Chains A and B, each alone.
Chain A
Amino acid sequence: MPLLSVRNLVLHYRTRKGLVRAVDNVSFDVERGQTLAIVGESGCGKTSTASALLRMLPRNVGEYAGQVELDGTQLMDLDEEAFRKEVRWRRISIVFQGAMNALSPMIPVGQQVAEPLMVHFGAEKEEAFAKAEEAIRNVGLPAYTMRQYAHELSGGMKQRVVIAMALIMRPSIVILDEPTSALDVMTQANIMNLLKGLKRDESLSYIFITHDLGLSSELADVVAIMYAGRIVELGPAESVYPNPQHPYTQKLLASAPKLRTEEKPDSIRGTTPDLIQPPPGCRFHPRCPYTFDKCRTDEPPFFGQTDRAACWLLERGR
């Protein structure tokens, strides 16, 4: 049984211009100790998926529905209190994009790591600090970091602190939303190595959200490609990276300039779709080089066994 099973997840926002279908019927599984990478460009709905999983909804939420089963528990059935106490941060936690900038400059970082334990879970101060120190050392930082302030730490160190915060309750799943976006290449590499190590040592499962295909391959066991609020391809890394089935995945891979091969990168024509009024039929059809009639009218279902893609081209086999 998979650790996390998501079916038909929906999250829409109400805005002055209309209903934004940020997450529009998304389904996937995450196995124990495995990483699912959700890859897509900005505005495809990947961050909203994270918000939906953690039930961190804004004021203008329009629709929020679906089934989310975590280790046997139906999360959507839980009320706000139960979700807050038992699930959020305890069984699923998150490292936000730009989280390192959200560290308070007024309190030493050690206290910030320990605080959720004391406030949220009612732990005693000593116990909380001890756990915090353990988490800090676990992410490769020396113990004295506990007493330092955020501005004394470099970007990489701050990000490690944030990861420590996410891991402190030993959740089964950690959502990483562009965890290295503001970091240098070297620091990024170091953080990725840390995450790899933690994955191996603690049997962590990740949902790794990023727009960088190369980076996603550093952790991904399973890859989900998101476009316009939907998943268009879902499959194991071994299949998707070398052999992408969906035209968008192919174009996305082709548009990433590669350092080690001479392959010239290729751009995708058109613009990212409007989530309020997405194109009819297959949402990618205006930008797809292989569009034919059916693509403009009917939404394709998933085709394929292990590597599934939602594309009409796969219907009768290409």
Chain B
Amino acid sequence: MALPLPVPVTGLKSVLKEVVRTRTGVVGFSMLGVLLGLVLVVPFVAPFDVAGEWGDRQVWLDNPRDAAPEWSEWFAGKQLARTQILTPCNAPGPIPLSNATGSEPCPGGGWKKLVRRTTIFGDYVFITMERKFQFTADVFPSELSLAVWADFGSAAPLLTVEWKRPDNVNLTLLQVAPDQRVPTPNFYPLSTDTRPCCTIRELIKNWAITNFSANAQNVTLIRPEVTLFAQGGRDMLDFRRAVVLKGEYTLKIELAVGAVELGVDAKAVVYGTVFGVAGTDSSRRDLLIGLLWGAPVALAFGAVAAVVIVLLQTILGALATWYGGWWDEVVQRAADTLLILPLLPILLLIAIIYSPSIWLLLLVLIGFGFVGSTSKVARSIVLQVKEEAYIEVAVSYGASRARILFKHILPRLLPYTFALIALSVPSFIFLEASLSFLGLGDPLLPTWGSILGQAYTGNAAFRGFWWWITFPAAGIVFATVAFALLGYSFDKVLNPRLREQ
């Protein structure tokens, strides 16, 4: 031959070296590196008791619902609202009883606390908490909520909530008797207004019409979080047309009780429309955490399944082919049978009936996959390698069948095994994603598939919550492509015809 012979690529090390030389190999390995980096880094950078907290509502209460990522502001072209938390002074710690008069310190937040007393008609104490905050976004907040802690005796206090606007047209939002004592807060979701319904909205409607001649609206269509922040005018009751009134707002709460002692603390949240890097879902969960923690689960499941199944199939296939005879037939027929079985429907059935954890499902997967197409690939390779001259020579100097299998034949299978593992990881990642999507995966862990599933049930697409769909999908695609590229580059190296001279 006129050309120098290409170096035969056989050992795993040399195969890996060759793979790293191809472009697809480099890209594949770097993507894999990113994923592995994620898996390793995440527990340290974003420590999180995933299993415990992902499902716990209380953890997420301060996040806005269905919020887009903060950087989407770039595309919106206007300033979007960030959540502002008007933190309480002492809660969740113990709330001191106010027994003096005058201003009280507020260590935890920016509230101005003032205590007044009168003894005219009996002992009355009035505690006022006032908080100023700026609102400069171009869009309205998504929600408004208030929590008030009250420490009182037998006499029932009265709570008054006042809203002061930059244009000085103020209103009293709420007048109600709180019934919860510390440590339980009294919760007033001002924008959803479930209890009592529509009182706040009626109030706001009347105030808007009286002060600004606003066009009347059906009470149920009024959004407090809009009108309270809207510029005065005819449109302020119409959430489609209202314009934001930027400036300094003050929230003032006053608790009055006929007693000597009273303890008060308050927290308000002006929920924004954007949050974090990846937005939130309908349960207010920070999707970034879900995504980051979804990676290890996807990878673990996919990798473990791929490695165990491919290795099992390869070894069983090689053993059966090498020792031949009856075993060969058994293994091949078993492989044929298992190949035909529709895996996803079976897993679905098992998942529905037994609701197992994701790891138990993995075990079932392995059970249905201990022989299969890879056994056949192993078989054809073994049959080929068997014919090579050095195998015959090994027999001629007395090597036992077992020795030849383990020392000469199985090492030749290794590069192919690697390629097959890389190529099958995507399907297992997808399988897990599919199961989670259908709600059959592990209910406690966030996985990309389960996030997608929740997006589906939450009608994310219809409601325009693109972040809820795009990011988990991108994660799945990224992982799948990483392994597919790796597998492809392995194949390129191992398959001489695809290699360029």
Contact = CB atoms under 8 A, between A and B. Distances in A.
Interface stretch (B1-9, B89-97, B134-142, B340-348): B1-9
A46 B1 CA distance: 9
Q: Closest 6 A-B residue pairs measured CB to CB?
A: A48-B2, A22-B2, A45-B2, A47-B2, A20-B3, A60-B501
B22 to A, nearest CB: 12
Interface residues of A, number: 18
Interface of B: 1-4, 500-501
B501 A22 contact: no
A75 to B, nearest CB: 21
Q: Output the residue of B2, B3, B4, B500 with the most chain A CB within 10 A.
A: B2
A20 B4 contact: yes
B2 A15 contact: no
Contact of A276 (B1, B4, B500): B4
Interface of A: 13, 15, 17, 20, 22, 42-48, 58-60, 274-276
The prevalent SS among residues of A at the interface is loop
Given A17-B4, A48-B2, A60-B501, 16 more contacts: A15-B3, A15-B4, A15-B501, A20-B2, A20-B3, A20-B4, A22-B2, A22-B3, A42-B1, A44-B2, A47-B2, A58-B501, A59-B501, A274-B4, A275-B2, A276-B4
A58 B3 CA distance: 11
B8 to A, nearest CB: 15
Q: Is the interface of B mostly helix, strand, loop or mixed?
A: loop
A210 B3 CA distance: 17
A43 B2 contact: yes
Contact of B4 (A45, A46, A58, A275): A275
Contact of A43 (B1, B500, B501): B1
Contacts of A274: 4
B492 to A, nearest CB: 15
A135 B406 CA distance: 55
B3 A13 contact: yes
Contacts of A15: 3-4, 501
Contacts of A17: 4
A48 B1 CA distance: 9
A17 B500 CA distance: 13
A224 to B, nearest CB: 16
A17 B501 CA distance: 11
Nearest to A50: B2
A237 B80 CA distance: 94
A20 B364 CA distance: 56
Nearest to A18: B4
26 contacts: A13-B2, A13-B3, A15-B3, A15-B4, A15-B501, A17-B4, A20-B2, A20-B3, A20-B4, A22-B2, A22-B3, A42-B1, A43-B1, A43-B2, A44-B2, A45-B2, A46-B2, A47-B1, A47-B2, A48-B2, A59-B500, A59-B501, A60-B501, A274-B4, A275-B2, A276-B4
